[in-house]
Structure 1
Amino acid sequence: MADSHPLIVPRVRHYLTDVLKVSDDQRLAWIQHWLGAGLQAMETLLAEHPASGHFCHGDSPTIADICLVTQVTPAKTFNLPLDSYRRVRL
């Protein structure tokens, strides 16, 4: 999660469009790629970890759930389909 978040912040998005001159479609593909990579890593971790429950770590929210929200929310903002991420959806 920590390695995908910095890649979608406004500063990076502006660099992509203002300096590298990528199109809006290319920028969206960039964002969706990196958000998807982070969510897939979290999905795999939650699927394999025996302590996973209704929340990331058991049946009560923890700091891990707060961190997850910071990735799922922009995924929704940037129209990344979440159907394949059963454990990370809000």
Structure 2
Amino acid sequence: MSEITPDLVRHLGVLARIQLSDEEVERLTGQLDAIVDNIAKVSKVATPDVPATSHPISLENVFREDVPGDMLSLEQVLQNAPERTEDRFRVTAILGEEQ
């Protein structure tokens, strides 16, 4: 016998303040029943000797050390700049007059 009934789905809809049509109640009854059945199957398999995990593969930090490398010269940085002023990029002002 199914644990999820149309009356239970309607009650859950009321609690969630969701108005459900009869078609939605019918569809959700089947979907929620399948979810509950699958949870029950997993609960049978999850025994105390099986450790709980959040990921199937253990996670580890794969980042390298942050070590500074070769840097570009100022000329290399600015060589393709559309406009420059001395040793800086020249850009159009984007702030409004209120700033």
Q: Same fold (TM over 0.5)?
A: no
- After TM superposition, the score normalised by the length of structure 2 is 0.29
The structure richer in helix per residue is 1
The structure richer in strand per residue is 2
- After TM superposition, the score normalised by the length of structure 1 is 0.31
